[in-house]
């Protein structure tokens, strides 16, 4: 199963830092996501893009996870030579992760 089967994601970026939220479609799946979607799994899944530390925050009041990914956008929008240095596309990349 892929993450997009049970959750959706939003992304944000500031400089070279990417934030990815992971929100289950059904609240009952939140605890399972907390156990399954670890920093290590996300780091392995995004290893070609995220070069720095990933910090995960659990937000149980809104049944969401937030991943803050450092050194993730080739320097950021204003300095990257990449075609799309914005974080928006990374939420789709996260949802492709097998769980």
Q: pLDDT digit string (tens) for 63-78? A: 999 999 999 876 666 5
- Residues in CB range of 8: below 8 A, 6 or more apart: 23, 25, 95
CA dihedral (42, 57, 64, 71) positive or negative? negative
**Could you read off the pLDDT of 9-48 as tens digits, one per residue?**
999 888 889 999 999 999 999 999 999 999 999 999 999 8
How far is the C-alpha of 43 from the C-alpha of 57, rounded, in Å?
14
Instruction: Give percent helix, percent strand, percent coil of the chain, each to the nearest 5.
Output: 30, 30, 40
Whole-number pLDDT of residue 22: 97
Q: What is the pTM of this model?
A: 0.84
pLDDT higher for 98 or 81? 98
Residue 85 has pLDDT above 60, yes or no: no
Whole-number pLDDT of residue 83: 47
How far is the C-alpha of 63 from the C-alpha of 29, rounded, in Å?
9
Domain limits, the chain: 3-90
One-letter-per-residue 3-state SS of 23-42: EECCHHHHHHHHHHCCHHHH
């Amino acid at each position: 199963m892929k993450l997009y089967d049970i959750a959706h994601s939003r992304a944000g970026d500031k400089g070279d830092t990417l934030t990815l939220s992971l929100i289950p479609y059904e609240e009952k799946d939140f605890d399972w996501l907390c156990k399954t979607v670890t920093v290590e799994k996300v780091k392995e899944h995004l290893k070609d893009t995220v070069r720095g530390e990933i910090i995960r925050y659990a937000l149980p009041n809104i049944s969401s996870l937030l991943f803050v990914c450092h050194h993730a956008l080739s320097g950021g929008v204003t300095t990257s030579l990449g075609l799309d240095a914005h974080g928006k596309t990374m939420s789709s990349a996260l949802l492709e992760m097998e769980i």
